[in-house]
Amino acid sequence: DADVTQTPRNRITKTGKRIMLECSQTKGHDRMYWYRQDPGLGLRLIYYSFDVKDINKGEISDGYSVSRQAQAKFSLSLESAIPNQTALYFCATSDLAPTSLDSSSYNEQFFGPGTRLTVL
Amino acid sequence: RKEVEQDPGPFNVPEGATVAFNCTYSNSASQSFFWYRQDCRKEPKLLMSVYSSGNEDGRFTAQLNRASQYISLLIRDSKLSDSATYLCVVWVGTASKLTFGTGTRLQVTL
């Protein structure tokens, strides 16, 4: 079974609808992230959570909200979907950040398979 | 200016060829550097870290030039299975921020 799972994998919805994307992980990591990927723009961070009680905005959080229900679960919501939120959404996890600045101690982020969202 | 810039390609090369990708980053506070691989419509996966001294993993060699804020990836003896998009990724530890380039697409052909 995959360590990081996302549901749904594909979703088509209409403008104004509320959508929730879910992410679950079995890696036991504390840190979880939501990214979106658009052609020509690369992956951009929406929200991240360092533990269940810690939620932080990323660079493009407007129009999104998140919930960290448990260490293993991190959900992304679009309260009122709009067409420019059409994108590929990835959840990622990582272990605690290194205390050293040594690049070799960076903790890898592991990505889920992605959710392709289309807002009509 | 984008924080991490890459040539989008595509780079079309025959099997067995050597191909090199470059990447520049703008944040001088960047501390760690990586190449991720992303197959079509799949999730990114870490290919290798990049160190100032240069590092090699089989057919893959990565180099970092901090003075020029430049990162490279060299793939020798290209295989069909190397066809993918290669993402240059930069970590600013003090900001706990991972910044992705838009990727360079590689297509290896027979």
Beta strands, E only, B27-83: 32-38, 44-50, 55-57, 60-65, 70-75
- The answer to whether B103 and B10 have CB atoms below 8 angstroms apart is no
Q: Mean pLDDT throughout B6-31?
A: 93
Q: Which of A102, A103, A111 is nearest to A25 (CA)?
A: A111
Q: How many cross-chain Cβ pairs, A to B, lie less than 8 Å apart? A: 51
Encode pLDDT of B72-81 as tens digits. 999 999 999 9
B96: nearest CA in chain A? A97
Residues A73-105: pLDDT tens digits?
999 999 999 999 999 999 999 886 554 444 444
Which residue in B has a C-alpha nearest to residue A42's C-alpha? B102
Q: Which of A43, A108, A116 sits opposite B46 (nearest CB)?
A: A108
Segment 12-31 of chain B within 8 Å of chain A by CB: 31
The residue of chain B with its CA nearest to that of A5 is: B43
Name the residue with higher pLDDT: B60 or B30.
Answer: B60
Judged by CB atoms closer than 8 Å, whether chains meet at B31 and A101 is answered as: yes
Strands A19-25 and A54-57: unpaired
Give, in degrees to the nearest 5, the angle at Cα A72 between A69 and A30. Answer: 100
| Interchain proximity A106–B87, CB inside 8 Å | no
Residues A33-59 pLDDT 10s: 999 999 888 899 999 998 899 999 998
Contacts of B26 in chain A (CB under 8 A): none
Q: Residues of chain A with pLDDT > 90: what percent?
A: 78
Q: What's the pLDDT score for residue A10?
A: 97
Check CB contact under 8 Å for A104 and B100.
no
CB atoms within 10 A of CB A16: 10
If residue A68 lies in a helix (H) or strand (E), which one and from where to where? Answer: strand A65-70
CB–CB of A116 and B41 under 8 A? yes
Smallest CA–CA separation between B60 and chain A, in Å? 17
- What is the reported pLDDT for A100? 47
Question: What pLDDT shows up at residue A102?
Answer: 46
What pLDDT, on a 0 to 100 scale, did the predictor assign at position A40? 81
CB contact under 8 A, A114 and B43: yes
State the average pLDDT over residues B55-84: 96
Cα–Cα separations (whole angstroms), residue A23 to A32, A118, B29: 9, 18, 31
Instruction: Report the chain B residue with the minimal C-alpha distance to residue A50.
Output: B96
